[in-house]
Amino acid sequence: MEYIELQNTLPEAFKQQNIMQSDIWHQVFRFQKNKIYLIKAVSGAGKSSLCSYLYGERKDYQGIITFDNSNISSLNAKDWTTIRRNNISQIFQDLRLFPELTALENIQIKNNLTRRRKRKEIVNWFERLGLAEHIKRPVGKLSFGQQQRVAFIRSLCQPFDFILLDEPVSHLDKNNANEMSNILLEEFEKNSFGVIVTSIGRDLELPYDYIMNL
Amino acid sequence: MVGFILANIIGVTIILLSIQFYRDIKPIFSNNDSFMSQNYIVATKKVSTLGSISNKSNLFTKSEIQELQNQEFCNHLGVFTPSLFKVYAGLSIESKGIRFGTDLFFESVPNEFIDVSLENWSFNSLDNNKIIPIILPRNYLNLYNFGFAESRNLPKLSEGMVGMVQLDVHLTGNGRKEVLKGNVIGFSNRINTILVPQQFMDWANETFSAEKQKNPSRIIIEVDQPANPAITEYFQSKGYEAESGALDDSKTTYFLKVLIGLVLFIGLLISLLSLYILLLSIFLLIQKSTDKIRNLQLLGYTSRQIALPYQLLMIITNSISFVISIVVMYCLRAYYIQEVRPLIPSLSSDFPTSIIILASTLLILVVVVNGILIKRQIIKTE
């Protein structure tokens, strides 16, 4: 997958609001691979909606969204499964971790599916993000900031062309946020993919190619 | 889950047991030589005092037979052919100087109405050594054994002994006379007359009688349901009589069939309900984990992968209950087989393999249907 294109896309819920100042909604915009995007917005502007549309989770928009040249409205459940395994990774705003499973099990549930990372690699990330002693703890017992880091590690446990990070550092301190940026950039050097980050205030520090207002 | 397994075991056991029981006692229904005969009624016209005086005919006319045959309750109809010649049967045991004989009559009915093995039931008029096979009503033998022989100090006769005795049968009529050998080949519970094969009757009536075929005085009909009130009504309106006994047997048969059908139905109902409970509890489980299933789908798990554990749970619980049901069914069968054995000596107490095939088919059907339903429920969360 080389690009994601939005053509006059608008959430159904925004149809009535005529005056919309947005770089993305109701525009033609293309997210390219190997570029890093930051989407800034106030709460309720549709960040998570955008992520849901791109991940096939919701379809309540008007306009057209295409992956390369194919309209995503024509994709079926099987296609989305393939895309979620191989082409698009996401950190959900609400993380979608399994609270009764340990941090490591939460990672394995994804990694067992893709066989993408070695255990050593995963443990190394845990250590760098200050989670070493929490590997075997149920995720439900961790703070939201710690859970965000677990979700971040999980998002790297698959091949992808684009990664969607929906407010990934909302509950992180500066050090951990920086470490997250470092890890992401290391991966960005090694593999080619596009990065789409959303933010309502605290930004993940990255060398952004585009900064847009939603 | 335990509740389901228990309910399912009960339901499946009842299904398997009632099917197996039906198969075990089926010989009673299908075997001709059994107390629970198929549903036959022998019809005659009432012999009334007035009729005797006025010499009113007790014979069935062709149109009456045709009408009876056209009745809805009548599956099959056969007429009794009476002999139109004189019959004298004698028995002599030279060594003991015993000699006795009596005047007789013969009747014949089509073979399919006879409740005795038809192995020796044939007659060929071209044979040099002509032997007439004869079937007697069983109560004739009983009359002799327990009435006549007892009071006169004569030996009692078993069915086998009677079969070994050869009778001299003198046939007279139409200016001709012939002596043939007669042999009792069996005893009938159903038909209260001295029966000979239809082939013999046709040949003898032609040979020893100048008369044309006489109308029959007795008719045997096969019905589905002897308790059918239409039969009683029809018989009453026409002044026919049904020979008793047969009707009672038939009622028993019918009642048993209804009973087994009822038990089978209850078993099916319990099983269906228990399967429904299992399915509901699995659906509840799925409902409870909707969020988790959704998360797994968003992580890239296919609905098939997600459904698999639920399907395995369903398959394992169903298999357990089916296996237990088969074992329980076998134990119960061993118990009732002792009770039924005197009625059906041929009953085998071997493990009925066919019931396992049936149970497996049932299990596969249940598993496939439930598997599909579970998968659908998972896809719904997509």
At which of B246, B268, B292 does a domain end? Answer: B246
Mean pLDDT of B36-62: 71
If residue A48 lies in a helix (H) or strand (E), which one and from where to where?
helix A47-54
CA distance A124 to A191: 19
* B295 lies in the same domain as B209: no
C-alpha distances (whole Å) from A48 to each of A55, A71, A87, A166, B344 are 10, 20, 19, 7, 77
Examine the domain organization and report whether B303 and B333 are in the same domain. Answer: yes
Interchain CB distance below 8 Å, A84 and B296: no
Question: Is the Cβ pair B296, A77 closer than 8 Å?
Answer: no
Both B227 and B307 in one domain: the answer is: no
List b or e across B295-304, with b for residues whose CB sees 16 or more CB atoms inside 10 angstroms: bbbbbbbbbe
pLDDT value at residue A124:
95
**Tens-digit pLDDT profile for residues B295-339:** 999 999 999 999 999 999 989 988 998 999 999 988 888 888 888
Domain count, chain B: 2
pLDDT score recorded for residue A81: 93
For residue B297, list chain A residues with Cβ-Cβ distance below 8 A: 81
**Predicted pLDDT at B356:** 87
Average pLDDT, integer, range B28-53: 63
Q: Which of B295, B302, B303 sits opposite A98 (nearest CB)?
A: B295
- Residues B240 and B289 both lie in one domain: no
Distance CA B219, CA B61 (A): 11
pLDDT of residue A180: 94
Under the banding of pLDDT at 50, 70 and 90, the label for residue B141 is: confident
Task: Give the pairing of strands A88-91 and A36-40.
Answer: unpaired
Asked whether residue B231 falls in the same domain as residue B356, the answer is no
Range of the domain at B178: 40-246
**Are B143 and B267 in a shared domain?**
no
DSSP annotation of A171: T
How, if at all, do strands B81-82 and B86-93 pair?
unpaired
- Lowest-pLDDT choice from A149-158, B27-36, B70-79, B242-251: B27-36
Same-domain pairing of B73 and B214: yes
Mean pLDDT, chain B, as a whole number? Answer: 81
Q: Find chain B residues with C-beta within 8 A of A114's C-beta.
A: 300
For CA atoms A120, A124, A127, A131, the dihedral sign is negative
Output B246 or B48, whichever has higher pLDDT.
Answer: B48
Instruction: List, in sequence order, every beta strand (DSSP E) within A25-84.
Output: 28-32, 36-40, 61-67, 70-71
Last residue within a domain, chosen from B223, B246, B269:
B246
Per-residue pLDDT, B38: 56
What pLDDT, on the 0 to 100 scale, is given for residue B247?
A: 55
Residues B192 and B261 reside in one and the same domain: no
**Greater confidence, B254 or A67?**
A67
- Please give the residue that has the higher pLDDT: either B114 or B228: B114
Q: What residues of A are in the B interface, CB distance below 8 Å? A: 55, 57, 77-78, 81-82, 84-85, 90, 92, 96-98, 109-110, 113-114, 158
The verdict on B265 and B341 lying in the same domain is: yes
Among the ranges B70-79, B193-202, B228-237, B350-359, which has the highest mean pLDDT value? B193-202
Q: How far is B276 from chain A (nearest CA, A)?
A: 29
Query: Structure pTM?
Result: 0.62
pLDDT: is B230 or B225 the higher one?
B230
Return the pLDDT at B137: 87
Which residue from B292, B295, B299 is facing A113, i.e. has the nearest CB? B299
Cβ-nearest to B298 among A78, A84, A114: A84
Domains plus CATH for chain A? 3-97+160-213 (3.40.50.300)
The residues of chain A scoring below 50 in pLDDT are none
Per the structure block, which two tokens stand in for B332?
Answer: 């119960």
Q: How far, CA to CA in Å, does A146 sit from each of A35, A185, B370?
A: 27, 20, 41
Shared domain check, B117 and B53: yes
Predicted local distance difference test score (pLDDT) of residue B33: 44
In DSSP notation, B261-330 reads HHHHHHHHHHHHHHHHHHHHHHHHHHHHTHHHHHHHHHHT--HHHHHHHHHHHHHHHHHHHHHHHHHHHH
State the first-to-last Cα distance of chain A, in angstroms, to the nearest integer. Answer: 24
Domain boundary among B246, B269, B301: B246
- Specify whether B303 is located in the same domain as B178: no
Q: What is the pLDDT of residues A8-42, one digit of tens each?
A: 999 998 887 766 688 899 899 999 999 999 999 88
Is residue A25 within 8 A of residue A14, CB to CB? The reply is: yes
- Say if residue B130 is in the same domain as residue B219: yes
* Beta-carbon separation of A110 and B300 below 8 A: yes
The answer to whether A81 contacts B301, with C-beta atoms less than 8 Å apart, is yes
- Do residues A194 and A206 touch, judged by C-beta distance below 8 A? no
How far A81 CA lies from chain B's nearest CA (Å)?
5
